[in-house]
Amino acid sequence: MKHIFEQKVYYSDTDSYGVVWHGSYLRWLEMGRIEYCEDLGLNLIDLQNQDIVLPVTNMNIKYKSSAKLNDDIIIETEITELKSYSVTFKQFIKSKETLKTFVEADVVVVAINNDGKLYRKLPEILSNKFNEVLKCPALV
């Protein structure tokens, strides 16, 4: 399952050179992962109330090109790897008009409890949902 959403580049997203500031991409990547989880029925507040928090532990990001003010962009998110203790999201930020890739990222997330202790195995609510997605025919 691939999640896609659109975003417009606003002035506050750009730097003094008129291009998107590198940190704005990180915010959009996070938005993509949150929206993806929401579509799976995994609300982050509900998970936190169940003593589950999902921090990023590794991010490999490639900045390929720069988006600019007023560009319409799309953020694509999908799961590419599921391990017993982590999940890897593959994400792209692209131009809506040309589909040119601005950013490509692999983001690894783990589950911890509210006190910061790592779950050695993803909680069942997460592993079940993520396994369902990976068995989806579109990802085969």
Does residue 72 carry a catalytic annotation? no
Select which of 15, 39, 46, 72 is catalytic.
Answer: 15
Q: Which residues lie below 8 Å from residue 34, measured CB to CB, with a gap of 6+?
A: 44
Give the amino acid at 100.
Answer: K
Tokens of 108: 């690894």
Count CB-CB contacts under 10 A for residue 100.
Answer: 13
Query: Active-site positions?
Result: 15
